[in-house]
Amino acid sequence: MSTTPRVVIIGAGIVGANLADELTERGWDRITVVDQGPLPLTGGSSSHAPGLVFQTNASKTMTEFATYTVNKLKSIDVDGAWCFNQVGGLEIATTAERLTDLHRRQGWATSWGVQAEVVSAEECVRLHPLVDREQVLGGLHIPTDGLAKATRTVVALTRRAQARGAVFQGNTRVTGIEQTGGRVTGVRTDDAVIPADIVVSCAGFWGVELGAMVGMDVPLLPLAHQFVWTGQVPDLVGRNTELQEAGLPILRHQDQDLYYRERVDCLGIGSYAHRPMPVDLRTLPEGEVTEAAMPSVLQFTEEDFAPAWEQSKLLLPSLRQSKIDSGFNGIFSFTPDGGPLVGESAEVKGFWIAEAVWVTHSAGVARAVAQLLVDGRSEIELHGCDVHRFEDVQLAPDYVSETSQQNFVEIYDILHPLQPKESPRNLRVSPFHARQAQLGAVFLEGAGWERPHWYEANAPLVDQLPAEWTPPGRDSWSAKFHSPIAAAEAWKTRTAVAMYDMTPLKRLEVSGPGALDLLQRLTTGQMDKTVGAVTYALILDQVGGIRSDVTVARLGEQLFQVGANSALDYDYLRRHAPADGSVQIRDITGGTCCVGLWGPLAREVIGAVSSDDFSNDGLKYFRAKKVRIGGVSVTAMRLSYVGELGWELYTSADNGQRLWDVLWAAGEQHGIVAAGRAAFNSLRLEKGYRSWGTDMTTEYNPYEAGLGFAVSPRKESFLGRDALSGIGEDSVARRLTCLTIDDGRSVVLGSEPVFVNGQPAGYVTSAAFGHTIGKPIAYAWLPARLSVGDGVEIQYFENRVAATVTAEPLVDPKMTRLRG
């Protein structure tokens, strides 16, 4: 008798079918897949998906999901008929800006291991003879892209899962989730309860409804997107058999928000060029599901497609001899940041979701979910997919609706990595916001917070910069969302004193009789220290991958303040807290605030407004204590992410503005400045301080990431410890490596491929101009065999930039400034 859990998968679309396949492949054989629609054509998005699979994505995870999907679908068929037709992908440029950006996309593909080439206009026409030579400037060719036949794939995977014992049940609508004591026990349908230990909702754009059954916010928006099939295109006649269907590459015309695929002698055209069309699920078509009538297919609104048709005839002149044969407004899911939604409900154990997933990523996401269920961890890191990545304010329906529609509008836009949302803004502001605005802060947005990037009030300092601090000019791309004022703010931080708003960094309060045990169990650091100790440590998963890095201050015997990275840490700690109530975990970020007061003159400033002892003896490096500053009660921590003397000063939100004002007034005679994220990022890279999510993730262990020092050698037990045994800094095969750029001026931005001896060997994580060292810095994942002094090349658009492996940290390796 099988002992694997009973799993009910809701939804037999491409995601549900893939998940059933992945779980049964891992030996789980008590799988029931239910769908409200008939099988295999359920009427969901997968039932009409044209199935273009373009793998290249800014995200490594999404690209790897796509590559897995390609390889898996290539290996299956239905009675000899293909599930994946590897015709290749061609993204064309009709503007100079797009052509330039295709080089950046080619860089991403290279970074993530997908072969891709920027080709000439002539080559575009050779690859896709329907394209008008006069319209294109060049293209990006990815030979391994292609067409997924979603409906056939569902059939193939269903058969395979059924052969391994899975049960598929159509015409079965889930109306409720059964639970007892905070755990799922089954799903309710119109006429039965199907018992389950685990329920996975793969309900696509119906996900919000399913989530609501367990009180879970599912931040997705169903939107309609237009797709048409043309009639016969004379130039395609005779090119394809019915079975083969297509031979020309799938085509993207991003300058006009359009894409194309062949179907025998016709073309399919998809358009994102129309207004966003949010869909209210209560208005979906009802009745029998057939190929012609599905709930996910709305009436074609011809007028919305008219400009797309004109543009298509310009790009593909053969279409002038054809016409639109049929069209529809098909529904699928969009999310606030464009990522999928994967994870388990925080409230109801055993209720999982895998939604807002494209056909492109379907097999990859399904494998990740299967690995999470069976092994407890996905080999591909998931922080950009985890449904718990959002802040509370980002779960509000209005926020989800506005940002998801914005993502629809921008789907093919050329977006700068720092480009902030235009709306909604000012959702979360720190208590210093009014002062920052007075100083001309240029705000970018992150997790709903307004975050000063630099301050225009510091512009006059740029003219005062000593020659060695004066930054070189930048190319137009890296100059976007940047100002040379950042150099002045970095200069003042290293030579005088600066105030940084650290409020948006996630802060958790962990308290209670079980607090110490919990933190001991989950982190790599020794937490059982005296009150006042601050410890930098890592949270690992069971194979030693880095889930997060935290700075833990012991503020009382049973009271800890955890400086964390994101909402994911809050979710993770709460999940691991004992059920007996001995630990309380609160997100105190919004109710508190933090000023980083840093620089060689920081002690002069604080000495003028506090009678507490801030000397080296009074508050040692990595210690915390309660103080008063200008009458405000403050928790001061002797830490600095920028590598200078100073403190993180925490107080409650109501006292924040006073704290800022008092420090500011005292600092004026010392030339204090407010400094923003641009300077901060540069200074932290000069010190080699890693940023979780960018520099390291669960895919890397502490030794690879250069964080072995954060693993306490004497601590006997913590999650992930056993997996690290036998691993050390010297035994790793890849390493997060510090590079400086040889020409002293070419700033890269992150995700660029790095070449060793002319071959792709890794990719850039974080990068910035190092103002103190007068050179750009890039951290990159590279083979560990590289040594200090070795030369590499970074691909930046179409250029290769020479860089050198450099010993780190680049500034103050003896820590004299920090400990000063």
Ligand X SMILES: Cc1cc2nc3c(=O)[nH]c(=O)nc-3n(C[C@H](O)[C@H](O)[C@H](O)COP(=O)(O)OP(=O)(O)OC[C@H]3O[C@@H](n4cnc5c(N)ncnc54)[C@H](O)[C@@H]3O)c2cc1C
Enzyme catalytic residues: 225, 259, 549
* Interface with ligand X, residue 153, by CB under 6 A: no
Contacts with ligand X, 284-313, as mask; x by CB under 6 A: ------------x-----------------
Binding window for ligand X (CB under 6 A); candidates: 38-46, 138-146, 271-279, 317-325:
38-46
576 burial level (CB within 10 Å; 0-12, 13-18, 19+): middle
State which amino acid sits at residue 210.
L
- CA end-to-end distance (rounded Å), the chain: 67
CB atoms within 10 A of CB 669: 11
Contacts with ligand X, 52-91, as mask; x by CB under 6 A: x---------------------------------------
CB atoms within 10 A of CB 264: 18
* Interface with ligand X, residue 34, by CB under 6 A: yes
* Interface with ligand X, residue 225, by CB under 6 A: yes
CB atoms within 10 A of CB 717: 8
CA atoms of 46 and 44, how far apart (whole Å): 5
Q: Classify the phi-psi angles of 720: left when phi > 0, otherwise alpha if psi is within -120 to 50, otherwise beta.
A: left
* Interface with ligand X, residue 206, by CB under 6 A: yes
Nearer to ligand X, 9 or 634 (CB): 9
* Interface with ligand X, residue 174, by CB under 6 A: yes
Is 671 in contact with 460 (CB distance < 8 Å)? no
- The size of the interface with ligand X (CB under 6 A), counted in residues, is 40
* Interface with ligand X, residue 702, by CB under 6 A: no
Q: What does the block give as tokens for 89? A: 């992908």
State which amino acid sits at residue 446.
G
Q: Which residue has the tokens 């629609």?
A: 37
CA atoms of 763 and 796, how far apart (whole Å): 11
CB of 75 to ligand X, least distance (A): 18
Q: What does the block give as tokens for 80? A: 């000899």
State which amino acid sits at residue 120.
S
Applying CB under 6 A, among 12, 39, 387, 711 the residue interacting with ligand X is: 12
CB of 184 to ligand X, least distance (A): 15
Instruction: State the angle between helix axes of 14-25 and 150-163 in degrees (0 to 180), rounded to the nearest 10.
Output: 30
CA atoms of 572 and 591, how far apart (whole Å): 21
297 three-state secondary structure? strand
Binding window for ligand X (CB under 6 A); candidates: 202-210, 307-315, 539-547, 646-654:
202-210
Nearer to ligand X, 42 or 483 (CB): 42
The residues facing 167 across adjacent strands are 32
Applying CB under 6 A, among 8, 39, 43, 741 the residue interacting with ligand X is: 43
Q: Beta strand pairing status for 167-169 and 31-34?
A: parallel
* Interface with ligand X, residue 144, by CB under 6 A: no
* Interface with ligand X, residue 42, by CB under 6 A: yes
Applying CB under 6 A, among 15, 70, 102, 236 the residue interacting with ligand X is: 15
Contacts with ligand X, 251-270, as mask; x by CB under 6 A: -------------------x
Contacts with ligand X, 349-388, as mask; x by CB under 6 A: ------x-xxxx----------------------------
* Interface with ligand X, residue 37, by CB under 6 A: yes
Query: CA 356 → CA 219, 220, 332, 335, 605, distances in Å?
Result: 9, 7, 8, 7, 51
Applying CB under 6 A, among 7, 8, 9, 10 the residue interacting with ligand X is: 10
CA atoms of 17 and 42, how far apart (whole Å): 12
Contacts of 291 (CB under 8 A, 6+ apart): 41
Nearer to ligand X, 179 or 296 (CB): 296
Residues 311-330 that bind ligand X (CB under 6 A): 330
Nearer to ligand X, 172 or 458 (CB): 172
* Residues present in the chain in total: 820
Applying CB under 6 A, among 4, 24, 32, 46 the residue interacting with ligand X is: 46
CB of 363 to ligand X, least distance (A): 11
The residues of the shown chain that bind ligand X, judged by CB under 6 A, are: 10-16, 34-37, 42-46, 49-52, 150, 173-174, 202-204, 206, 210, 225, 227, 270, 296, 330-332, 355, 357-360
